[in-house]
Amino acid sequence: MKKSFYLGVLITLLTFILTSCGGTSTTAGSSTVTINWWHIATAEPAKSAWQNLANQYMKMHPNVKIVITILENDAYKNKLTTVMQSGNPPDLFHSWGGGVLFQYAKAGLVKDLTSDMQGDWGNSFNKSALDVYSDNGKVYGAPWDMGAVGIWYNKALFAKAGIDQPPTTWTEFLQVVQKLKSAGITPIAIGEKEKWPGHFWWVYLAIRMGGKDAFNKAYTRTGSFADPPFVAAGQHLQELLALDPFQKGFLGSSYPDEQALMGDGKAAMELQGQWAPANDQSAAADKKGPQLGFFPFPMVEGGAGNPTDVLGGGGGYALGKNAPPEAVDFLKFLTTVQNQRDLAKQGVVLPVVKGASDGVTDPLKQAVVQTVSKASYFQLFYDQYLPPSLAQVVLDSTQSIFAKTATPEAAAKAIEDGAATALH
């Protein structure tokens, strides 16, 4: 009798414990999941667009909380480097793909998305865009934007200087610079304190002089970054610098300074990517900015590169190593064809998802899309494509040409010396 009593109590107790454990699991499953999302969209309309998408997702998934951190470009790069060194990356973070992302992947700091990209999600992207986030058959991020670096110009200032048409050759471009200076207009704005804006000039000149072949040979070590096309790039940059085309103190100017100069109509041109119009408008004192036009980087006479070759890139997102599964699902949500189309209509992205290109209605964005579509060779920014140590050498060396502290030959040799170590 006692045995039966104690057995009954034991069964009741075990049933209670098991039921309680099941209840705890359900509670844990419904507890809040936090996704820490870092991005660099400090300007409208992108800033609000990303927030709206986060709000939509949280409404659809009440157990998910998305905490957004917004940082200016260079502040973001510095902070991301710091948290990566500590081994604690954010769940979802902006990436340009290329060598920087792949180094994080090799260190085990980012989530491998290869299996997630099998099937519909991976097939939804334009291959050239997804390739930027892929290395040795593995996928480490998802793109949301892809465009080209080109020259943005103030139409009113061009008219004031008597310039009817954008230049198509390097010689014509230098003549435009001279006309603008004669009219009392600062020809070009640049934030060279941060180095990457200046490296656009040198890289584009290298592309025009040597094309895909010169870069591929240097990168695969069958050639050299000290070969003639890279030296010639520095020499042509010297031609431009001899005209004093930039604002006073440009070596100490930040990229936000560059944005403000363009936004307030105090400079006629800048060499930037598809993000420039929105950033310039946001930086303008009147929040409207001038009417801008766009033209591809000029053809350089005597160069071996195709005049349609493009330097460019865009934005994407990668996931930290400990990101929850919900972060992957949220990234899939961000890159649906409908959201890509809507973002394109708002002027936030140049779509990378198939079937979303009809959302591009802004003439300036369409000009960039056309430039990319004509490209026979698309080169990702050197400072993102190359391994970080070599990328830094490129940035430092190109800035030394701007500062007139190194010759084109010396700068090219420094880059080659860096490549010999980084690309062995």
Residue in the block written with tokens 């391994």: 387
Give the per-residue pLDDT at 118: 95
* Nearest Cα to Cα of residue 393 among 406, 408, 378, 412: 412
Give the per-residue pLDDT at 194: 96
Question: Please, which pLDDT band fits residue 214 given cuts at 50, 70 and 90?
Answer: very high
Those residues whose C-beta lies under 8 Å from the C-beta of residue 203, and which sit 6 or more positions away, are: 233, 311, 379, 381, 382, 394, 398
* Mean pLDDT of the region 48-56: 98
Provide, rounded to the nearest whole percent, the portion of the chain with pLDDT above 90. 89
* Mean pLDDT of the region 74-87: 95
Q: What is the CA radius of gyration of the chain?
A: 25
Whether 7 shows a pLDDT value over 90: the answer reads no
Residue pLDDT, tens place only, 302-317: 999 999 999 999 899 9
Residue pLDDT, tens place only, 271-305: 999 999 999 999 999 999 999 999 999 999 999 99
Domains of the chain: 33-143+315-349 (3.40.190.10), 148-312+380-422 (3.40.190.10)
Whether 15 shows a pLDDT value over 90: the answer reads no
**Which SS3 state, helix, strand or coil, does residue 64 take?**
strand
**Lookup: tokens for 67:** 């905490």
Residue pLDDT, tens place only, 338-366: 999 999 999 999 999 999 999 999 999 99
Whether 388 shows a pLDDT value over 70: the answer reads yes
The answer to whether the CB of 144 falls within 8 A of the CB of 316 is yes
* Nearest Cα to Cα of residue 357 among 373, 341, 370, 343: 341
Strand 138-139 to 147-148 pairing: unpaired
Question: Please, which pLDDT band fits residue 12 given cuts at 50, 70 and 90?
Answer: very low
* Nearest Cα to Cα of residue 211 among 311, 293, 321, 287: 311
Give the per-residue pLDDT at 63: 97
Strands (E), 215-278: 269-272
For the chain, give me the number of helices (H) and strands (E)? 18, 13
* Mean pLDDT of the region 167-178: 99
Give the per-residue pLDDT at 30: 58
Whole-angstrom Cα distance, residue 154 to residue 209? 27
**Lookup: tokens for 115:** 């299996």
Whole-angstrom Cα distance, residue 416 to residue 229? 13
Give the per-residue pLDDT at 79: 97
* Mean pLDDT of the region 24-31: 43
* Mean pLDDT of the region 58-70: 98
Whether 9 shows a pLDDT value over 80: the answer reads no
**Lookup: tokens for 322:** 């400990």
Whole-angstrom Cα distance, residue 96 to residue 77? 11
**Residue 70, strand partner residues:** 39
* Mean pLDDT of the region 182-189: 99
**Lookup: tokens for 411:** 């700068």
DSSP conformation class of 418: H
H or E element at residue 295: strand 292-295
**Lookup: tokens for 132:** 């930027």
**Which SS3 state, helix, strand or coil, does residue 191 take?**
coil
Q: CA separation (Å) from 175 to 119, 134, 170, 182, 184?
A: 52, 42, 9, 11, 14
Whether 3 shows a pLDDT value over 90: the answer reads no
Give the per-residue pLDDT at 4: 39
Whether 112 shows a pLDDT value over 90: the answer reads yes
**Lookup: tokens for 77:** 């790069």
* Mean pLDDT of the region 214-233: 98
Whether 18 shows a pLDDT value over 80: the answer reads no
H or E element at residue 342: helix 337-345
CA terminus-to-terminus distance, the chain: 82
Whether 1 shows a pLDDT value over 50: the answer reads no
